[in-house]
């Protein structure tokens, strides 16, 4: 699908979400605490950032929680409704509306603030919840755009959904990962020859080991496509870390978050225990995060 079509579908997905997105994922009634907020705050604080750009800022989801750190805040987003809401929210904190604008993370020019007096390069650039909605070939492009938006020595932070978490979930994500990335079924089919029918039986038996009916597909609120009905990829932390290094970032680190004490399919059997123990597991550098955390942040420093 052309990038223009992908972006139009993403804008449609988020078109009715601007006023509720923060409450859904960051507010007090969110299904899981926004633990990544503190990780981002810590990275920016340790980097000594006095200004920050949020590429794909949504309704200022992360920026509104950075307002107490004394930083000059900027952001842009693809969806007009998100930009409007971000300007409203940040305006309540005295931040000028020209600090938020429309733009695509795939376009280098979007990373330049339009207002007078804005920095040519930022101390830090972050990108939350955007990579899942981009085709694979743009991963490095976005990382390079973030790199070029910060000053020498500046900090880059990008968020992604953890593909390796599917090794723990035992659901349709697991089956898809096994089929496409581990056993590479298409590759085997090309080489099966006389064993083609037997291979189909083997793959069917493999599929039977997973709950491919879970999780249910997330639809939209009205007539717009839902999150699972637009491009919404996961990322292998090893692969994305290497892409960041190839883009020239230094000291590239993976920070895991949103841990799961049990596979999500059994969460409702012990909901209080599940939430309590999952939150207790939150250690960004815990090796179990490669498999038991559904998301991660990647940080790196510009040369």
Contact assessment for residue 24 and residue 16, using Cβ atoms and an 8 Å cutoff: no
Position 17 scores a pLDDT of 93
According to CATH, the topology of domain 3-163+219-301 is: Rossmann fold (3.40.50)
Position 43 scores a pLDDT of 98
Consecutive 10-residue averages of pLDDT for the chain (303 residues): 93 94 93 97 97 98 95 98 98 97 98 90 98 96 98 98 98 96 97 97 96 93 90 97 98 98 97 98 98 98 96
Delimit the domains of the chain by residue range: 3-163+219-301, 172-207
């Amino acid at each position: 699908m052309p990038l223009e079509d992908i972006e139009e579908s993403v804008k449609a997905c988020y078109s009715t979400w601007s006023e509720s997105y923060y409450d859904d994922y960051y507010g007090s009634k969110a299904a899981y605490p926004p633990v990544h907020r503190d990780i981002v705050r810590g990275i920016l604080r340790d980097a000594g950032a006095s200004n920050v750009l949020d590429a794909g800022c949504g309704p200022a989801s992360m920026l509104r929680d950075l307002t107490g750190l004394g930083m000059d805040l900027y952001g842009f987003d693809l969806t007009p409704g998100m930009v409007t809401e971000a300007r409203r929210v940040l305006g309540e904190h005295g931040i000028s509306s020209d600090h938020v604008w429309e733009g695509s993370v795939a376009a280098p020019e979007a990373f330049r603030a339009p207002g007078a007096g804005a920095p040519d390069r930022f101390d830090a650039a972050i990108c939350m919840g955007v990579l899942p909605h981009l085709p694979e070939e743009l991963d490095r492009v976005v990382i390079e755009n973030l790199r070029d938006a910060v000053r020498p020595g500046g900090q880059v932070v990008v968020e992604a959904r953890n593909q390796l978490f599917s090794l723990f979930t035992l659901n349709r994500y697991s089956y898809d990962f096994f089929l496409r990335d581990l056993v590479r079924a298409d590759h085997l089919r090309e080489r099966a020859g006389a064993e083609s029918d037997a291979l189909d039986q083997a793959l069917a038996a493999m599929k039977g080991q997973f709950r491919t009916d879970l999780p249910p597909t997330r639809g939209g609120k009205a007539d717009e496509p839902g999150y699972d009905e637009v491009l919404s990829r996961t990322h292998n932390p090893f692969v994305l870390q290497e892409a960041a290094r190839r883009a020239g970032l230094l000291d590239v680190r993976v920070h895991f978050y949103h841990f799961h004490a049990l596979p999500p399919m059994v969460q409702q059997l012990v909901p209080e225990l599940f939430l309590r123990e999952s939150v207790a597991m939150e250690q960004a550098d815990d090796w179990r995060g490669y498999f038991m955390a559904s998301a991660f942040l990647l940080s790196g420093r510009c040369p």
